[in-house]
Structure formats: structure tokens, C-alpha cells
Structure 1
Amino acid sequence: MSRGADLLAALGAEGLVALAALGPDAPDTPRGTQALVLIGPMGGDRWWRRVTASPEWADGAPDPLDRWSKRVLTRLATEYGGTALFPSDGPPWPPFFRWALASGAFWQSPVGMLVHADAGLWASFRGALALPFALTLPRRANPCDRCADRPCRDACPVGALSPDRYDTGGCHAFLDTPAGTDCMQQGCAARRACPVSRTHARLAEQSAYHMSTFHR
């Protein structure tokens, strides 16, 4: 098994998946980087079950998901001779959004959020690995190009999302109302409406946790 394939298997064992891989020309990476791999949770329940069984989840300290991610990805980076990078590193903050758009596996969706070829609008980053060896992933197509109805555009009950703005105030105000309970318990309605998101579905309890931390 190649080092790249071995790493992908090690990520899968933790409930993680390589969402995209960039080559040695990726900007703002450590010297000697040959591949930058953007990493997020798998669909289904494997990642959530693993995190909620972890010491970080049980110890009562803040930010259990970020601390779990840093422990796991830092260990993998060490094992594979690379460097782990995280959205919370900074300032200056690593350019995850720019990396994603440059990777050929993410695009800006009709509601502004990043959309991924497999994860849809559920795409999120737990971190990235800057590796000293090459790793490539299959080329992907923008799922929005084959989505005629684009249901995400009309799914937000208060129209808070568009390609050029996100009305955070309107979103949070809606979540404080009884009608906002569905988004609070099941996750953002626009993200759920994406047909690709449905194949990468999360547990409701995972979405509820993320929404509670977001709304706080």
C-alpha cells in the first residue's frame, strides 16, 4: 500500500475523509510541502460516535471537537512526516476557503457556502495535512452544474443566504423563534436541501450540537 493510500485508510479509521488535495504549489504551506490534504468528517455516524466517545468530549473543557481534531491530526502528521494545520490557527488564519476553491473539489454554491462534490453543503474542515509526499484524489465535477432545481436557494425560511451576503442577524433572530426549532434540531435548512448533502447525511444530534454552538 502506498503512503497516500495508507494515510487515507488511517483517516477513515478515525471517521475522517480527505475532501481535497492540492499539489506543491498550494499557497501558504510549510516549506517542502508536496501535497496539502483538506480533511473533514465522513457522512453517517462514524465520526460523531468516535468524537463523543473521546476523552475530549468527556472532560468538560471547552471546544472538544477542535481539541479532538488537533490531537488526532497532529498525531497523523507526525506519523507521516508532515504538519497539521487548523482553521483555528492564527492570526494569521490559514486560507482554508482559498485552498478549497483552488483544489477543484469545492465550489461556491448558489447560497454562498462552499459545496463539495461528495459532502454537498455539509462540507466542513477539521484541519489539513501538509505532507512531504505527493497525494492525488480523483478529479470531481461541480454538483451544482447538474442540479436543475437548486433547492438550496429557497430553503432558508428567512432568505438569509445568497452568493454575496449572509444575513447573520436575520438567521440568529429566526433561530430564537419557535419556527427556528427545526433548524436548531436538524441543522441549517439550506444545507439539508442540497441533494448531495442528503447522501452525506449527519446524525440529528450532531447537527443540533453544531447549531447550538453556532447560535451561542
Structure 2
Amino acid sequence: MIAGVSGSPGVDEIDAALAVHGLALRGGFNFSGEDAAPPGMLDDPARCVLLVGNAGAAHWPHFHQWRSRQRQDIENPLDTWCREVIGAVGTRFGARAVSPSDKPYLPFQQWAIRAEGLKPSPVGILMHPQYGLWHAYRGALLFDVVLELAEASAPVHLCDDCPDKPCLKACPVRAHSAAGFDYQGCLAHVRSSAGGDCMTGGCLDRNACPHGADYRYPADMQAFHMRAFART
């Protein structure tokens, strides 16, 4: 069971239902009275949130199989697939499914930090002690009831013991730095003829991180995400 989610009736079943599609529960927590919780299944604020995501590329074959049955010009196919899968699981277990791309945007990164106790890496992606940078949050399930959940422990932040920070040195245009992410500089580079390596093999800074190598996304998956980024 994913750390931070255990001991509740039905939680194991939810995780198993997601695993059929290569997804998994990625922690969760009960909202407090001080939280600005979004609505659950009803109009009242949700009482609990469970994060859903991927670790490595376990979901990738399932997405490809679904993709082969869809028209090829579908917009944002991965978001569409995630909404379909997570939405069906939510309906089955009495939860409202939400997505990181929903507007107005929900605080997914803050939820993830609270749910799994992770901290951002220098490239902005949350550093996981097992998966490194090779994971993502694809949606969340909002419940109208409080669930019995284990408290998330604070894992070792691997970036603290990484003095060389290779993730800040691989990008030819220094898109990531102590000042933050140069979105426009990165976008201009990957759209240019000089950005071919990024477009086919993924972000050079992200790939320079030594952690979680066993979960590194395959090249075609990284290229898929870079093409989507280049279209923004």
C-alpha cells in the first residue's frame, strides 16, 4: 500500500482498481476545518482526498492500448484517458474525480506534498525517495466522508545529499536554476532545431538526476510529453 494510505475499508480495493490500469494511490489526507476543500460528490466541501498517479511507466502500455482505439486527432489524449479511468473508479467507490488540468486549478502539488511528505527538486518536480523524478499525479478522488488514513512520514529528501546538482547543469540554455524555471527559454529551445535531443529523449536536466533510474520513463513516453509541452 502506498505510504500515507492504509487502514481504511475500501482503500485497498480502490488501489487494486487503479492498478489494473497501471495507476496507484499516491497518499491522501482528511481535510481540516481550516482547509478550503473543494466540493465532493455533493455541494458540501469534501472531507478527504486521495491522490492518484503513476510511478514509472506502469500506466504507459494501458494508455497506448486505449489510444489505439481512439481517433488520432483527439486533443490531450493522456488527460482524457486519466479522466476516464479515474472517473470510473471514483464512480465505483462514491468519490468525485478531479484532474490537475481542471479549471479553476486545484492545488495538486500542495496536496501531494501534504499526502506524501515530499519536497520539490531543483527542477520543480517533487523528489520521491524511491521513484526519483519519474512519477506524476494524474488526478484525485474527493470523498464526502472521513477516511482512516495513516500519517505521511517525512522521507529523506535526496536532493539534500546531492552536492553536485547535475539537474541544474545538463540543459544547454540553463532553463532550471536557483532563480526558478525559465519557461519561455525552455520552450523556445525545444521548438528550435537545437532542441532535437530534448524533443526525442526528454528533458536533459531531468534525465541527469541519478535517482530512481529504474523508474525512468522510456524515450517514447518522454518524447510524447515533450511534444505536448512544445505545443503549449
TM-score, normalised by the number of residues in structure 2: 0.80
Amino acid across the alignment from 2:99: F
2:182 and 2:100 map into 1 onto residues whose CA distance is 22
Cα drift, residue 96 of structure 1: 0.9
Q: 1:105·1:117 contact (CA, 8 Å) conserved in 2?
A: no
Higher helix share: 1
2:107 and 2:68 map into 1 onto residues whose CA distance is 26
Pairs within 5 Å for 1:1-216: 2-25=9-32, 27-30=36-39, 31=44, 33-44=46-57, 46-54=58-66, 58-60=70-72, 61-90=74-103, 92-131=104-143, 132=145, 133-136=147-150, 139=153, 140-216=155-231
Cα drift, residue 212 of structure 1: 0.5
In structure 1, the residue corresponding to 2:131 is in which secondary structure? coil
1:123 and 1:163 map into 2 onto residues whose CA distance is 23
Q: 1:42 to 1:114 in 2, by over 3 A?
A: closer
2:68 and 2:83 map into 1 onto residues whose CA distance is 11
Cα drift, residue 18 of structure 1: 2.2
Amino acid across the alignment from 1:121: L
Amino acid across the alignment from 2:86: L
Q: 1:83 to 1:53 in 2, by over 3 A?
A: same
In structure 2, the residue corresponding to 1:22 is in which secondary structure? strand
Paired positions, count: 214
Cα drift, residue 138 of structure 1: 5.5
Q: 1:181 to 1:50 in 2, by over 3 A?
A: same
| CA-based RMSD | 2.4
2:93 and 2:60 map into 1 onto residues whose CA distance is 24
Q: 1:16·1:40 contact (CA, 8 Å) conserved in 2?
A: yes
1:187 and 1:57 map into 2 onto residues whose CA distance is 26
Cα drift, residue 197 of structure 1: 3.9
Uncovered stretches (5+) of structure 1, i.e. residues with no partner: none
Cα-to-partner distance string for 1:103-124 (whole Å, 9 max, x where unaligned): 3432121233333333322332
Amino acid across the alignment from 2:213: R
Cα drift, residue 188 of structure 1: 0.7
2:129 and 2:63 map into 1 onto residues whose CA distance is 24
Cα-to-partner distance string for 1:89-112 (whole Å, 9 max, x where unaligned): 11x211112212333432121233
2:4 corresponding residue in structure 1:
none
Amino acid across the alignment from 1:110: P
Cα drift, residue 32 of structure 1: 6.3
Sequence identity percentage: 34
2:133 and 2:178 map into 1 onto residues whose CA distance is 13
Amino acid across the alignment from 1:8: D
2:124 and 2:178 map into 1 onto residues whose CA distance is 4
TM-score, normalised by the number of residues in structure 1: 0.86
Cα drift, residue 175 of structure 1: 1.6
